[in-house]
Amino acid sequence: MDEDILHKLEGRLGPLHARQRLAIETVREAQIFGHGLLSFHIENWYPVHSVVRNALKLTGLYWRGRRNTESILVKRNDVVFKELPQLFDGFTILHLSDMHVDMNEAAMQRLIELVGDMRYDLCVLTGDYRGKNLGPFEATLNGVARVRAHLKEPVYGVLGDHDTIQMVPGLEAMGIHILLNESEVIVRGDQQIYLAGIDDAHCFKADDIEKAALQIPFGEFSILLSHTPEIYHPAAHAGFNLLLSGHTHGGQICLPGSIPIILDAV
């Protein structure tokens, strides 16, 4: 990583977080290529991808699965909180996650078509911008920029387990405010809510909920962005009113009738 960029990240995150994140990325890449296994996530074992792909082709399910990934739908969730400030009644958040922008061009085109006409007050992105979790990321930044061009301000985001911290300057240069164990104030009139975001808790274990909540006054309405939902207990204990997450892709794999098999991270 460029030393100037690293210095800026250290000033914002602290030298420990920034350097630990980079070190973990290096170790993780070595693990994936077989140079020692301290932890194992099957999605990072690339030989299994070909096995699964070929098996699906033999069963005739591969192209059906491809069509499913391209059938992006908008789902509206209405949530009610008695603690929500009155001026935020009806506040609408567009939540996008796990775009993996460099994997499926048709899905990206569909996403761009959908978001261009949507009305919302705030957009949040909860990580996994790229497909693979190592190697060059320029194509990922280009793909995110295409989507970002159709999103309305303001846009906030966090990193996922596929994302390198080296992407942060590029993402922020296109107007995405990345929250790395940090928080921001969202103001409407004379009232406000707080938006916090943590670094990836699933693979990199770089999350710090306590730090993310540090600047949020007790009792204030707050939302936490996390790539993975597995931190929901600590998030609740920290006083967050709402957790917005991705990672599970809506359940990863669903049975007929859209019944998800897995809802939490594994």
**Is residue 66 assigned to a domain?**
no
Place of tokens 């099957």: 42
**Is residue 63 assigned to a domain?**
no
Q: Contact at 8 Å (CB) between 123 and 94? A: yes
Total of domains in the chain: 1
Q: Exposure pattern of 181-192 as b/e (b: 16+ CB <10 Å)?
A: bbbbebeeeeeb
Amino acid 171: pLDDT:
98
Q: Which domain holds residue 154?
A: 75-260
**Is residue 118 assigned to a domain?**
yes
Amino acid 193: pLDDT:
99
**Is residue 125 assigned to a domain?**
yes
Place of tokens 């030393």: 3
Across the chain, which has 266 residues, the per-10-residue mean pLDDT values are 80 83 83 53 57 71 68 91 98 97 93 95 98 91 98 98 94 98 98 98 92 97 97 97 90 66 59
**Is residue 39 assigned to a domain?**
no
**Is residue 235 assigned to a domain?**
yes
Amino acid 58: pLDDT:
76
**Is residue 141 assigned to a domain?**
yes
For position 89, which CATH number holds? Answer: 3.60.21.10
